[in-house]
């Protein structure tokens, strides 16, 4: 059987077009309308914390309804164990918005001697204006850090409170901790900036990237 050289009289080597319609435009294939998802998972910004940084702030949040922050290898550098945390700015609340949240965690140590899944009251807030922690405390070991993702939904809404969720993994003193946190920022004002800090307020290193997620 000979090799196929053309499809609908279009050379395979020039497959950028089908039926004389540029496929990248997503207009038609064989005269049928094509609807393509655009900007499905788009990097908006990425920032590195370099000692002695004490915060990372994202103030250009884009026009997406869902914002996803990924953090990689958060590590406190001020000599203490610590965890990543966040707060937001709105018209009325400059990094002191009211937050309500809940948390649970699972952990398992290297020697297989300790393991558990539990509700974790230490991760909760009840209508308080503190920075909300996002994951387990990193340990004292030199190779200890935490990584995870943090999602905010409908940050620009002027009708609803702002829901968020976080999932993370951390090595803490020769044990793995997986934390799951959900909550809401109790304001109907649009969030205009998100700031990350070490919960203890000290210096840290790591990378945080912001993505916009398309809803259609």
Same domain, 82 and 98: yes
* Statement to judge: residues 62 and 143 lie in one domain: yes
CA 58 vs CA 8, 55, 95: distances in Å = 49, 10, 12
Residues 28 and 58 in one domain: no
Tokens for 74? Answer: 């958060």
Is residue 26 located within the same domain as residue 54?
Answer: no
DSSP per position, 32-80: EE-----SSEEEEEEEEE-TT--EEEE----S-SEEEEEEEEEEE-SSS
Tokens standing for residue 66? 């869902």
CA neighbor of 46 nearest in space, from 197, 208, 192: 208
Number of domains observed in the structure of the chain:
2
pLDDT of amino acid 168: 97
Same domain, 32 and 45: no
Let me know whether 130 and 157 are in one domain: yes
| Other beta carbons less than 10 A from residue 142's beta carbon | 7
User: In degrees rounded to 5, what are phi and psi of residue 134?
Assistant: -120, -5
Residue with tokens 């900036």: 193
Give alpha helix (H) positions in 75-215: none
133 and 53, same domain (yes or no): yes
Q: What is the pLDDT of residue 8?
A: 56
- Prediction pTM value: 0.82
Same domain, 31 and 122: no
Say whether both 174 and 198 belong to one domain. Answer: yes
Residues 86 and 134 in one domain: yes
31 DSSP assignment: T
What is the model's pLDDT at position 137? 92
206: CATH: 2.60.120
pLDDT of residue 158: 95
**Alpha-carbon distance 33 to 14, whole Å?**
21
CA–CA separation, 42 vs 38, rounded Å?
Answer: 9
Provide the domain limits for residue 49. Answer: 41-213
CA nearest neighbour of 146 among 105, 95, 99: 105
Predicted confidence at residue 11, as pLDDT, reads: 60
pLDDT tens for the chain, residues 1 to 216: 555 665 555 565 555 554 554 545 555 556 666 555 566 889 999 999 999 999 999 999 988 999 999 999 999 998 889 999 999 999 999 999 999 999 999 999 999 999 999 999 999 999 999 999 999 899 888 889 999 999 999 999 999 999 999 999 999 889 999 999 999 999 999 999 999 999 999 999 999 999 999 876
52 touches 184 (CB < 8 A): no
Same domain, 19 and 48: no
- Domain match, 100 and 27 both: no
| Residue 54 confidence (pLDDT) | 97
* 210 burial type by CB count under 10 A (0-12 exposed, 13-18 middle, 19+ buried): buried
CA 152 – CA 204 distance, rounded (Å):
23
């Amino acid at each position: 059987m000979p090799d196929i050289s053309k499809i609908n009289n279009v050379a395979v080597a020039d497959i950028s077009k089908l039926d004389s319609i540029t496929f990248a435009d997503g207009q038609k294939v064989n005269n049928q309308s094509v609807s393509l998802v655009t900007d499905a998972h788009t990097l908006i910004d990425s920032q590195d914390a370099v000692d002695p940084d004490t915060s990372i702030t994202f103030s250009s949040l884009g026009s997406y309804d869902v914002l996803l922050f990924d953090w990689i290898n958060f590590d406190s550098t001020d000599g203490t164990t610590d965890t990543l945390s966040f707060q937001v700015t709105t018209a009325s609340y400059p990094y002191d918005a009211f937050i309500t949240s809940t948390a649970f965690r699972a952990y398992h140590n290297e020697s297989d001697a300790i393991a558990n899944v539990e509700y974790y009251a230490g991760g909760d807030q009840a209508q308080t204006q503190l920075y909300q922690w996002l994951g387990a405390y990193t340990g004292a070991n030199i190779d200890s850090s935490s990584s995870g993702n943090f999602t905010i939904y409908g940050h620009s809404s002027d009708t609803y409170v702002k829901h968020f969720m976080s999932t993370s993994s951390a090595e803490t003193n020769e044990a793995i901790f997986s934390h799951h946190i959900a909550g809401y920022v109790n304001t109907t004002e649009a969030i205009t900036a998100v700031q990350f800090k070490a919960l203890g307020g000290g210096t840290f290193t790591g990378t945080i990237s912001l993505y916009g997620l398309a809803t259609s």
